[in-house]
Homo-oligomer: A and B are copies of this chain.
């Protein structure tokens, strides 16, 4: 939302700030991730243990459209910041609460962890090899998909809530309750009715597609993985030709998709041999010539070098006061007509960098009042 132009005020504890500031690789004690994670946000400190913290949070809440929080359910209430308190301060507020299990139900008060939400949301089970291929456990995504999807639903709830509050002139707080596992569970397509009606429990299919062959990743001579999806009969014929083995297209083991699926291990071995005899670039050039959907599995180095990403400024160089020039991803989605670089107004701010500015602009405090809050340890 900050990337799209919203004024996002991040509240942090004075001193160490948000723990996310220490995540990932550091340069001189500064996190490179924070340069992105904090960008376009204003940082304001509040010491939640100070007796005036509650009043200051509600004072800020009176001036905004949306408050987002992700404490364990009950924590805000302990601080005297229940939904009713926010509603008294700002009756048209949208309050977005993100938690592991949601604000209600028998497990509401349990801590939420991304990796457990992904497991309970049913995605982890599918992210692995079937037991007949490997006995290794299902892999992690390597990214925080549970946190990401909860964040997306939080943003959607916030924006939809603002539209509804403004359209209806509603005078009561709208509470949006996002649960991590539930968010992940929405990605499961038709699995719930398929299980309920037919008893089907979907199983992981590794790196291939169980109903279409060939469609897999194969290692090139220079150690990259190349995706090849040549599973229609005409595409398979083209593939056999560029492999120099046109006879495979009419081979009884491979002549149509059904038999190809039955003989997929041998088929994948043959394609793997061919891809393995070429560099990734060589293989992709040949596949592209005959329009077989294909791609290298990109590492971050491939992403940084990709022409399309560069042309659209999805990979772009940004000046960060701590690091000098750093690579950032562009703002997604693209809003046509806006300069994608200019949308990155600033990189991750220092702790409390905008405290004075926000207290003056948003709360209308003068220098003395700000100094008093600072000297009392509130900010």
Max chain B Cβ within 10 angstroms of own Cβ: one of A23, A111, A329: A329
Tell me, in angstroms, the Cα distance from A196 to B325 when the chains sit together: 9
Identity of the chain B residue whose Cβ is nearest the Cβ of A203 in the assembled complex: B299
A139 interfacial contact with B, CB 8 Å? yes
25 A/B residue pairs, CB under 8 Å, sorted by A: A23-B190, A27-B198, A33-B189, A102-B308, A102-B334, A116-B227, A116-B293, A119-B298, A125-B297, A136-B207, A137-B217, A137-B218, A137-B297, A139-B139, A143-B188, A148-B149, A155-B156, A174-B336, A175-B335, A177-B334, A178-B332, A179-B314, A185-B309, A192-B303, A197-B326
Q: Which B residues touch A1, using CB under 8 A?
A: 156, 160
A134 interfacial contact with B, CB 8 Å? yes
| Interface size class, chain A | 35 or more
Q: Which B residues touch A218, using CB under 8 A?
A: 137
Choose from B24, B121, B200, B297 the contact partner of A189 (Cβ within 8 Å): B24
Q: Which B residues touch A225, using CB under 8 A?
A: 125, 137-138
Minimum CB–CB distance from A122 to chain B (whole Å) comes to 5
Tell me, in angstroms, the Cα distance from A153 to B127 when the chains sit together: 23
Q: Are B159 and A298 in contact (CB under 8 A)?
A: no
Max chain B Cβ within 10 angstroms of own Cβ: one of A106, A208, A218, A297: A297
Choose from B111, B204, B216 the contact partner of A137 (Cβ within 8 Å): B216
Q: Are A24 and B139 in contact (CB under 8 A)?
A: no
Work out how many copies of this chain go into the complex: 2
Minimum CB–CB distance from A179 to chain B (whole Å) comes to 7
Q: Are B122 and A182 in contact (CB under 8 A)?
A: no
Interface residues of A in 79-131 (CB under 8 A from B): 83, 96, 101-108, 111, 113, 115-116, 119-129
Q: Are B138 and A123 in contact (CB under 8 A)?
A: no
Identity of the chain B residue whose Cβ is nearest the Cβ of A140 in the assembled complex: B207
Q: Which B residues touch A188, using CB under 8 A?
A: 143, 300, 303, 329
Q: Are B102 and A300 in contact (CB under 8 A)?
A: no
Identity of the chain B residue whose Cβ is nearest the Cβ of A331 in the assembled complex: B186
Tell me, in angstroms, the Cα distance from A135 to B206 when the chains sit together: 12
Tell me whether A193 and B326 are in contact in the complex, defined as CB-CB below 8 angstroms, given that A141-B141, A159-B160 are known contacts: yes
Minimum CB–CB distance from A199 to chain B (whole Å) comes to 9
Choose from B106, B122, B179, B332 the contact partner of A153 (Cβ within 8 Å): B332
Interface residues of A in 1-31 (CB under 8 A from B): 1, 4-6, 23-25, 27, 31
A202 interfacial contact with B, CB 8 Å? yes
Minimum CB–CB distance from A269 to chain B (whole Å) comes to 13
